[in-house]
């Protein structure tokens, strides 16, 4: 045996293959001991005899007559067929791309929804605490809102969501944050943060209540956890689905996802629809939501920026205003 390569002649005589190197005697390989590599386009075939080496040769119909009992698998046959047809290769590549896009667009959100629905509350609290710890280091400052107004808004919000799904988990927190600006956001365990800057921008408590109703919609539909899972790897999501119930694999990925990503427009529309329906059921006009959206849009035009602009990932604001005003008018 040697690792060197040599040119050889190969021929068949009965049930034996003869392999001969120039200047040497032919070596007999019984056909029963010879294997052949599968066909794959125009790639060379390999004849192997265990313990004796291998012979590389161009593909030939003759090889199929020499070793007729060695049938390729269906997968190997399909691979060979594709390799020999450029159009098929292009088509297979296009199908692969389409399937990948479809999985990212539809499959990942579906997985995220299923996983989020079964996420233990302890995991939601742990992940939310990580996000809050990061925000407190840089962006959160003590609120200047009076304790009386905080209590009044919390009481009205509690009345608004009483009896709603997951209402017992919702808590409202007030923080000052010049870097974030006028903003409100819900985190996976039900904590809803509203900035002093947003409170100052509102004309009345109904406008603030409408924003809180929107954030309540995010929590009811588990958008925070769904966002975190979607923004993490698909492997993390499937790992959670099939065994990692503790959510430990999300511990690093989730805070960054929640801090740096906005909810999808589908999530925002869902939260808007929930807020408008909730306001109407509780006797608060959705017109308050339309007024708040106009004010936020104007503020964003005047002072663009901030860590996460409240309208940055939302559907077009005029569309949302029209929906809120139509609901207020009883349409």
- Is 189 a member of any domain? yes
On whether both 26 and 140 belong to a single domain, the answer is no
- Is 68 a member of any domain? yes
Q: State both tokens at 176.
A: 């000052």
On whether both 177 and 57 belong to a single domain, the answer is no
Q: State both tokens at 318.
A: 């005029």
Q: What is the pLDDT of residues 208-234, one digit of tens each?
A: 999 999 999 999 999 888 887 777 655
- Is 89 a member of any domain? no
Measured CA distances, 270 to 218, 220, 223, 238 (Å): 8, 10, 10, 25
Compute the distance between CA of residue 69 and CA of residue 46 in angstroms, rounded to an integer. Answer: 16
Q: In degrees to the nearest 10, what's the CA dihedral of 43, 73, 55, 63?
A: -90
pLDDT at 95 over 90: no
- Is 321 a member of any domain? yes
Q: Is the distance from CB of 51 to CB of 35 less than 8 angstroms? A: no
Low-confidence winner among 1-10, 114-123, 141-150 (lowest mean pLDDT): 1-10
Q: What is the pLDDT of residues 249-267, one digit of tens each?
A: 555 555 555 555 567 788 8
On whether both 162 and 304 belong to a single domain, the answer is yes
Pairing of strands 191-195, 171-175: parallel
- Is 54 a member of any domain? yes
Instruction: Identify the residue with better confidence: 87 or 274.
Output: 274
Compute the distance between CA of residue 16 and CA of residue 3 in angstroms, rounded to an integer. Answer: 24
Q: Is the distance from CB of 145 to CB of 173 less than 8 angstroms? A: no
pLDDT > 70: percent of the chain:
76
Beta bridge partners of 17: 12, 29
Q: What is the mean pLDDT of residues 271-296?
A: 96
What 3-state class would DSSP assign to 205? helix
- Is 220 a member of any domain? yes
On whether both 144 and 65 belong to a single domain, the answer is no
Q: Which of 211, 141, 209 is nearest to 183 (CA)?
A: 211
Cβ neighbours of residue 261 closer than 8 Å, sequence gap 6 or more = 227, 231
Domain that includes residue 23, residue range? 8-72
Domain boundary among 72, 94, 112: 72
Cβ neighbours of residue 75 closer than 8 Å, sequence gap 6 or more = none
Q: Is the distance from CB of 299 to CB of 291 less than 8 angstroms? A: no
Compute the distance between CA of residue 152 and CA of residue 208 in angstroms, rounded to an integer. Answer: 12
> Catalytic annotation on 215?
yes
- Is 234 a member of any domain? yes
DSSP category for residue 317: H
Domain boundary among 57, 72, 87: 72
Q: Is the distance from CB of 139 to CB of 191 less than 8 angstroms? A: no
On whether both 45 and 138 belong to a single domain, the answer is no
On whether both 41 and 141 belong to a single domain, the answer is no
Which residue among 215, 230, 268, 297 is the active-site one? 215
On whether both 134 and 275 belong to a single domain, the answer is yes
Compute the distance between CA of residue 18 and CA of residue 33 in angstroms, rounded to an integer. Answer: 13
Q: State both tokens at 72.
A: 């390729």
- Is 197 a member of any domain? yes
What is the rounded end-to-end Cα distance, in angstroms, of the chain? Answer: 87
Compute the distance between CA of residue 197 and CA of residue 310 in angstroms, rounded to an integer. Answer: 12
On whether both 324 and 247 belong to a single domain, the answer is yes
Q: Is the distance from CB of 153 to CB of 172 less than 8 angstroms? A: yes
On whether both 125 and 195 belong to a single domain, the answer is yes
Enclosing H/E stretch for 325: helix 317-328
Whole-structure pTM over 0.75, yes or no? Answer: no
Compute the distance between CA of residue 183 and CA of residue 194 in angstroms, rounded to an integer. Answer: 6
DSSP category for residue 107: I
Q: What is the mean pLDDT of residues 30-42?
A: 81
Q: How many domains does the chain have?
A: 2
Q: State both tokens at 36.
A: 């052949």
On whether both 169 and 58 belong to a single domain, the answer is no
Q: State both tokens at 51.
A: 């313990």
What 3-state class would DSSP assign to 104? helix
Angle, CA of 322, 328 and 329, to the nearest 5°: 90
Residue 14 dihedral angles phi and psi, to the nearest 5°: 70, -125
On whether both 61 and 162 belong to a single domain, the answer is no
On whether both 152 and 21 belong to a single domain, the answer is no
Angle, CA of 285, 286 and 292, to the nearest 5°: 115
Q: What is the mean pLDDT of residues 127-141?
A: 90
Q: What is the mean pLDDT of residues 82-94?
A: 66
pLDDT at 245 over 60: no
């Amino acid at each position: 045996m040697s690792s060197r390569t040599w040119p050889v002649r190969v021929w068949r005589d009965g049930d034996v293959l003869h392999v001969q190197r120039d200047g040497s005697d032919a070596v007999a390989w019984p056909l029963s001991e010879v294997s052949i590599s599968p066909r794959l386009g125009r790639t060379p075939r390999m004849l192997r005899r265990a313990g004796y080496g291998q012979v590389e040769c161009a593909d030939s119909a003759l090889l199929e007559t020499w070793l007729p009992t060695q049938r390729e698998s269906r997968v190997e046959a399909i691979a060979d067929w594709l390799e020999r047809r450029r159009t098929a290769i292009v088509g297979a590549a296009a199908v692969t791309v389409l399937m990948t896009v479809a999985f990212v667009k539809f499959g990942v959100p579906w997985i995220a929804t299923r996983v989020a629905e079964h996420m233990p509350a302890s995991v939601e609290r742990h992940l939310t605490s990580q996000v809050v710890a990061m925000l407190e280091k840089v962006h959160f400052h003590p609120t200047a809102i009076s304790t009386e107004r905080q209590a009044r808004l919390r009481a009205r919000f509690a009345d608004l969501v009483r009896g709603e799904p997951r209402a017992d988990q919702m808590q409202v927190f007030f923080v000052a944050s010049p870097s974030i600006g006028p903003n409100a956001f819900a985190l996976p365990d039900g904590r809803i943060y509203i900035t002093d800057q947003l409170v100052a921008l509102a004309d009345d408590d109904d406008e603030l209540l409408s924003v809180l109703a929107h954030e309540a919609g995010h929590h009811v539909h588990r958008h925070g956890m769904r966002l975190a899972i979607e923004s993490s790897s698909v492997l993390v999501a499937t790992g959670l689905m099939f065994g990692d119930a503790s959510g430990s694999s999300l511990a690093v990925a989730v805070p960054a996802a929640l801090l740096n990503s906005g909810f999808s427009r589908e999530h925002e529309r869902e939260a808007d629809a929930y807020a408008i329906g909730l306001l109407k059921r509780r006797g608060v006009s959705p017109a308050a939501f339309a007024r708040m959206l106009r004010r936020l849009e104007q503020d964003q035009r005047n002072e663009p920026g901030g860590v996460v602009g409240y309208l940055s990932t939302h559907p077009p604001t005029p569309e949302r205003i029209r929906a809120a005003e139509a609901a207020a008018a009883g349409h």
